[in-house]
Amino acid sequence: MTALLMLAVFALCAVLMVRRILPALLAIPVMAIVLCAVAGVPFARLGAVFSGGVTVLAPAYAAVIFGALLGRVTIDTGIARAIVNLTAEYGGENPLLFALVLCAVTAVLFVSLSGLGAIVMVGSIVLPTMLAVGVPRRLTGPLFLMAFALGFTFNIANWTFYTTFFGVTEGRLLPFALALAAIDAIALLAFAIVGFARERDYATWREARRDEDAEVLDLESDRGGRVPAIAMVVPLLPMPLYFFFHLDAVTAFSVSAVLAAAIVRPRAIVQTLVGAAIRGIEDVAPAVLLFMGIGMLLVAVKEPAMHAALAPIAGDWIARPTAFVLVFGLLSPLVLYRGPLNPFGVGIAFFAALIGAHAIAPVLLVAGVMALVAVQNVCDPTNTANVWVANQTGDRTERMMLVTLPYQYVVAILAALLAVSLHIASAAPLPSAPFPPGLLAPASAAHRIVVDDDGTRFGRIAAATVAARLTHAGFQVARRHAVPERRDCSAKPYAAYLYVRRQRFPLLEGVNLDIGLRLEDCGGWVVREWHDHAIEPHPRAALVRRLALQGVRRLLAWRARHPRRAHILFAHGLSLPANLRPTYYFALFKTVDGYMRVYVRAGGPAWAAGMRTGEIVDKIDGRWWWDYGTFQSEARSYDGKAHSFQVRVGNGTRQIQLLAPVLPKEVEALLRE
């Protein structure tokens, strides 16, 4: 019933956006809060969903803001016009060839540029230039939009969103993006050739009929003088900085913007950058607000109540090849008019649900979204960019949609087929079972516990007391030394491991004696730890036994309070997380020597990927861990995403790519008593 109500909320928000009653900027945050209420998320958590959503995608919209800064600098300094003029000068007299060259320039520019302001500025140069050399009027708008979409495939600000929202790395996505760009380029070429063969109404640029049109065409760059040739390379600079030198998007855009201003306007560099920053923020303000709303949805679907409610909707059916091609290829026109698959509308809720349910590998989901965006960027009549282009060329958005949709529809279908055929998700497949081999102890190890000690006299006395009491409670206990994290559980003779330790702290009143019990599963993953202590001038064995028995009572009380988790631990050797969220069973922690090290549960997904306890981690997802910060790096241990790592091995390094996580809910369902 809850799932049906949530689908009704999806449908209502979609209708409100399609009919333009409620803009996406408001509809998506409202959807996040209403879905939480329907799913039964506690009222006290709604504030966390709202505030957390505002900041969770901060890296993405920060990249958009600084990308807009570079875009404004590129336009205001005259660099963009100089590039187009240079192209026009050497473009020759063949309108088709000239149009394709301008499309290539446009695509390259929009790898770095973003926002409606950049589209207006670049379009104000490219569109009249196309018409002036004889490109058919009804082709200029569609060609410009297709070129924009081609460059948007590699748009750095957009890729920052992909890596932040979906948790994928640039390296894993790049092969698919290159292939998608090739398909897009072929579609653009085919459209141009067919269009030139059919169109004969060569038109000139319409005169500006309004003062604001004249203002748009009268670019500031006209007053900027000559642009040094070296400055024309600056719009391309963020690409190598981001993709090859692995600088973050904000740094890449900032360096490029400062360099552009310094080369073209060295005496007015401060004024140029300040003016570009202010106008750039104005250009992308709607996109920033949209990212905040999307962030609220992302935070909302991570709530346990939302996760449970969305499970029937976001099943693993989407990962099947036929279903994937159907949704992201054949049904791709559903992105139009802010439809249910629109990534910048109600569709983002569907994608967030898939992420929260781990129903599909993140990199495969991003590939599907990129296929949809190929249709949405070019064809959607509700795009502000499409409306502006149609107005400037005297065309209609609906006509541009009809002439471009057949080409972009084929692009989406081929992209979906490509994602499946190239096995984009082969590095992170969905598991056929919710646990990898070696995760669980064999059946013969059920209810067997190893009780170990720290080697001290009191430690041995406490361990013997604990072992005797657990035997009386029905467990099969072995007293011996073991290191559970050294090998997986496939051949372990025990399901749980209990480490007993004594600690002494001299005080003025006497000696504070502490007896601690640390319960671990068969792979060395800590379940719980209990400590009991007492102060005596001269602690004796009787006190040790009393404290040890108190610890056992705490352990047995935990078993009574958590019967399901205790059963899976003692019968199958696995510690399930209390929140039942997907997990890779590893933890990152910074040691006193300043290194980031890892603790790995033997037999878990991180272990299966090749990660081992004690290894030094240098990079996470291709970036130095200190770029994220200590807390943010350590938090990536628990977000359930398939991160990649660079770890040290001797004098060299090796790469580790996480595969599929353990899905605790499915494990719990399979291991019923």
> What range defines the domain where residue 146 resides?
64-287+304-426
What is the arithmetic mean of pLDDT over 413-417?
93
Is 16 strand, coil or helix? helix
The pLDDT value given to residue 526 = 94
pLDDT, one tens digit per residue, over 270-300 is 999 999 888 888 877 877 887 787 778 767 7
For residue 205, is pLDDT > 60? no
Check whether residue 393 and residue 518 sit in a common domain.
no
Angle at 43 between CA 39 and CA 49, to 5 degrees: 75
- Of the three residues 524, 541, 572, the one that is the final residue of a domain is 572
Check whether residue 85 and residue 211 sit in a common domain.
yes
Which CATH number belongs to the domain containing residue 597 in this structure?
Answer: 2.30.42.10
The pLDDT value given to residue 555 = 95
The pLDDT value given to residue 71 = 76
The pLDDT value given to residue 66 = 84
Residue 504: phi and psi, rounded to 5, are: -125, 135
Confidence of residue 574 (pLDDT cuts 50, 70, 90): very high
- Of the three residues 426, 458, 488, the one that is the final residue of a domain is 426
Is 315 or 362 the better-scoring residue by pLDDT? 362
Check whether residue 598 and residue 648 sit in a common domain.
yes
248 exposed, middle or buried (CB, 10 Å; 0-12, 13-18, 19+)?
buried
Evaluate whether residue 12 is within a structural domain.
Answer: no
Confidence of residue 39 (pLDDT cuts 50, 70, 90): confident
Check whether residue 545 and residue 591 sit in a common domain.
no
Evaluate whether residue 392 is within a structural domain.
Answer: yes
Evaluate whether residue 36 is within a structural domain.
Answer: no
For residue 9, is pLDDT > 70? yes
- % residues pLDDT > 90 (the chain): 33
Spatial CB neighbours of 187, under 8 Å, sequence gap ≥ 6:
146, 407, 408, 410, 411
The pLDDT value given to residue 12 = 79
651: number of CA atoms within 13 Å, CB side? 0
Check whether residue 456 and residue 393 sit in a common domain.
no
Q: At what angle do helices 249-264 and 58-76 cross, to 10 degrees?
A: 10
Confidence of residue 216 (pLDDT cuts 50, 70, 90): very low
Check whether residue 202 and residue 263 sit in a common domain.
yes
Is 498 strand, coil or helix? strand
Confidence of residue 92 (pLDDT cuts 50, 70, 90): low
Check whether residue 105 and residue 69 sit in a common domain.
yes
Evaluate whether residue 333 is within a structural domain.
Answer: yes
Q: How far is CA 399 from CA 374, 378, 405, 626, in A?
A: 18, 12, 10, 51
Is 226 or 137 the better-scoring residue by pLDDT? 137
For residue 522, is pLDDT > 90? yes
The pLDDT value given to residue 298 = 67
Check whether residue 418 and residue 484 sit in a common domain.
no
For residue 200, is pLDDT > 70? no
Is 263 or 221 the better-scoring residue by pLDDT? 263
pLDDT, one tens digit per residue, over 228-275 is 888 888 877 877 777 677 777 788 888 888 998 999 998 899 999 999
Spatial CB neighbours of 366, under 8 Å, sequence gap ≥ 6:
162, 166, 168, 173
The pLDDT value given to residue 99 = 87
Check whether residue 539 and residue 415 sit in a common domain.
no
pTM (predicted TM-score): 0.57
The pLDDT value given to residue 312 = 59
pLDDT, one tens digit per residue, over 618-672 is 999 888 899 888 988 898 898 888 888 999 987 888 889 888 888 887 777 777 5
**Range with the poorest average pLDDT among 60-74, 351-365, 389-403, 529-543:** 351-365
Residue ranges of E strands in 445-602: 448-453, 476-479, 496-507, 510-521, 526-536, 586-590, 596-600
pLDDT, one tens digit per residue, over 389-401 is 887 787 888 888 8
For residue 45, is pLDDT > 70? yes
The pLDDT value given to residue 346 = 60
Is 279 or 314 the better-scoring residue by pLDDT? 279
For residue 302, is pLDDT > 70? no
For residue 308, is pLDDT > 90? no
Tokens of 225: 């003088």
Strands across the sheet containing 510-521: 476-479, 448-453, 496-507, 510-521, 526-536
Longest dimension (CA), the chain: 104
The pLDDT value given to residue 149 = 92
Check whether residue 527 and residue 593 sit in a common domain.
no
For residue 122, is pLDDT > 90? no
Specify whether the CB–CB gap between 495 and 470 falls below 8 A: no
204 exposed, middle or buried (CB, 10 Å; 0-12, 13-18, 19+)?
exposed
Check whether residue 207 and residue 349 sit in a common domain.
yes
CA–CA separation, 437 vs 416, rounded Å?
31
In the chain, how many domains are there? 3
pLDDT, one tens digit per residue, over 324-335 is 899 899 998 888
**Range with the poorest average pLDDT among 138-142, 219-223, 493-497, 562-566:** 219-223
Spatial CB neighbours of 636, under 8 Å, sequence gap ≥ 6:
588, 620, 628, 643
Tokens of 498: 């209990």
pLDDT, one tens digit per residue, over 598-608 is 999 999 999 98
Check whether residue 216 and residue 245 sit in a common domain.
yes
